[in-house]
Amino acid sequence: MLSDMKTILDDCEKHGYAIGSFNVSTIDHVLAVIDAANAEKSPALIQPIAGVTCYADEIRWWQMARECIEKYSEVPIGLHLDHGLTYDDCKRACDSGFTSVMIDASRSVVDGTANSFEKNVELTLKTVEYAHAQGVSVEGEIGTIGGGGEGATARSVNDIEYTDPAQAKLFVDCTGVDALAIGAGTSHGTVKFPKGHQPSLAIDLIREIHSLIPQVHLVLHGSSSIGESDVDIINKYNGNVNPSSGIPDEQKVQAIAAGVRKINQGTDSHLAFTAGVREHLALSPADVDAYLYLKPGIDRMIDITRMRMRVFGSAGRA
């Protein structure tokens, strides 16, 4: 059943667990998350990124995603816009059936440099005012998360700016956001940390921010673990993904204990899906019907999504 982010995250806070917010860019991804959530009896969020889909008509894509959730989910699932870069992105999403939106105003859309605190507040507040009037909940961001969309842009791990707790509280007071993405040592994309480097999330910082704003749900972006077996399969079959370290499950569990309630996952799902498709096409090169080679991708994505639901503690909560 379609649900909204705030209701889902309020339950997480009450019972001390987190949900996965899973990036999707095709309808197969949407169905994979729904199948995983139904199987695990887990609430979840399904999150397209603004401007990221293989379909020509973005509004139609968003509406199809919503219809799938309404029709096929037996558990609470929200449709969340990930990384709305502008007020217009978020307004379009509110008008197209999203149950929550993220306004990512921590950086300039022009050159990617950090926006001032005041600019971030101004854009976020404008979005909150519009979204709340439509019954749509809002995630903002304070501090910045490293990495690029798929590890391929200029933004690097060195860009991580840890969230200042006092500033986070002020930001929430000024904007009224329902959820807040914080910089706590994570990084977007397939290339996160050098291979062998042990990433270390700022658990004490998360705990401190949570104690200051317990009513606002903390979000970790850039939290994929970068499964070695998926990267190995992709590279074995002519892929070229740089070896990299991600965020280990144990650290995500510690972050949840410290107060994180929403954990974004894109890269791990993409790696799993791509590994399944590449392996199938390499081993069965005469296959040309999409159902043959998409199925192993979909199955791998369902598996990794189900595993995360168990790690986050959301399995069995719906």
Question: Which residues contact ligand 13P (rule: CB under 6 A)?
Answer: 23, 82-83, 188-189, 221-224, 264-268
Query: For ligand 13P, which is the closer residue by CB, 6 or 221?
Result: 221
| Residue (155 or 221) nearer to ligand 13P, CB | 221
The b-or-e profile of 27-66 (16+ CB within 10 A means b, else e) is bebbbbbbbbbbebebbbbbbbbbebbeeeebeebbeebb
Options 4, 11, 35, 82, the catalytic residue: 82
| The two three-digit tokens of residue 40, written as one number | 């695990």
Closest by Cα among 220, 227, 222 to 255: 220
CA 67 to chain centre: 20
Strand, helix or coil for residue 232:
helix
Least distance to ligand 13P from the beta carbon of 83, Å? Answer: 6
Return the number of the residue (53 or 265) whose C-beta is nearest ligand 13P: 265
Spatial separation of the C-alpha atoms in residues 207 and 210, rounded to whole Å: 5
Residue 187 Cβ, how far from ligand 13P at the closest point, in Å?
7
State which residue, 93 or 293, has the beta carbon closest to ligand 13P: 93
User: Does the annotation mark 287 as catalytic?
Assistant: no
With beta carbons less than 8 A apart as the criterion, state whether 142 and 182 touch: yes
CA angle 293, 55, 73 (to 5 degrees): 70
Type and span of the H or E element at 123: helix 117-133
Distance CA 234, CA 165 (A): 40
CB of 288 vs ligand 13P, minimal distance in Å:
31
Active-site residues: which are they? 82
